[in-house]
Amino acid sequence: MEGSSEKLTVRADALQWLPSLPEQCARAVIFDPPYAVGTPVRGREDGAAGSVFGPFSFMSTAMAEVYRVLQPGGIAAVFADWRRMPDLLYMASTNGLRPTTQIAWVRRRPGTGGLLRAAWDPITLVSRGVPDAVDRAAIRNVIETDDVVVADYPSKRRHPYEKPPAVYEHFLRRVCRTGDLVLDPFAGSGSSRIAAENVGCRWMGCDIDAAYTEIVA
């Protein structure tokens, strides 16, 4: 995994790619499965509620693989709708991961639909054992992004749920050292790669959609 000739992004299913990686190879895993998959809400396919985090079998297998590839003290940042929190925490715990904290990502513009329009998203951090922080400086568990979020400007975005690199950098700087490996099994537009490189980390990812593997390659 050290070779510079290795392809950083591959086209693969996340649950096939993760088992191909060595045990305890990564300091951090970005786990942001796609939205708008499979759950009807209000008579239509709803994004947040339809995350692929729905099936228990997927969640259990995914969390087991995340645990396997993480180094002791490493963390996984899991992006999932609040409706998935009980299932996520249960599956993470039963597969050896330790729920550590949550980050509130406050977005410049609110989301759509519902009784109240969501202006923030939860990011759940889980760890393999006690998380090994790079330093003990006080860092808030809130990240506010003032830069242009591409979801606000559909004509410019490369992925339906693209996130600014600053969202990932907020916690990667807390736990990663220069040269550490960051994995992203749902690489999408590659924002996590930019964030990893900004903090001096190596990065590898996969995506099942060939269009996005070409973007990130």
- Cβ atoms of residues 192 and 215 within 8 Å: no
pLDDT: is 104 or 81 the higher one? 104
Note the pLDDT tens digit of each residue in 177-187. 999 999 999 98
Whole-number pLDDT of residue 10: 84
Note the pLDDT tens digit of each residue in 43-92. 444 444 444 455 677 888 999 999 999 999 999 999 988 888 888 899 99
Sign of the alpha-carbon dihedral angle for 164, 45, 209, 128: positive
Note the pLDDT tens digit of each residue in 116-151. 777 888 999 999 999 998 877 778 899 888 544 444
**H-assigned helices in the chain:** 14-17, 56-69, 85-94, 165-175, 191-198, 210-216
* CATH topology for the 9-216 domain: Rossmann fold (3.40.50)
Whole-number pLDDT of residue 138: 74
Selection from 1-15, 61-75, 154-168, 186-200 with the highest mean pLDDT = 61-75
| Residue-wise burial string across 132-159, b where 16 or more C-beta atoms lie within 10 A, e elsewhere | eeeeeeeeeeebebeeebbbeeeeeeeb
Sign of the alpha-carbon dihedral angle for 192, 193, 198, 201: positive
pLDDT: is 161 or 100 the higher one? 100
Tokens 């790619």 correspond to 17
Whole-number pLDDT of residue 128: 97
Tell whether pTM > 0.75. yes
Distances (CA, A) of 70 to 48, 75, 108, 109, 116: 27, 7, 32, 34, 37
Whole-number pLDDT of residue 155: 41
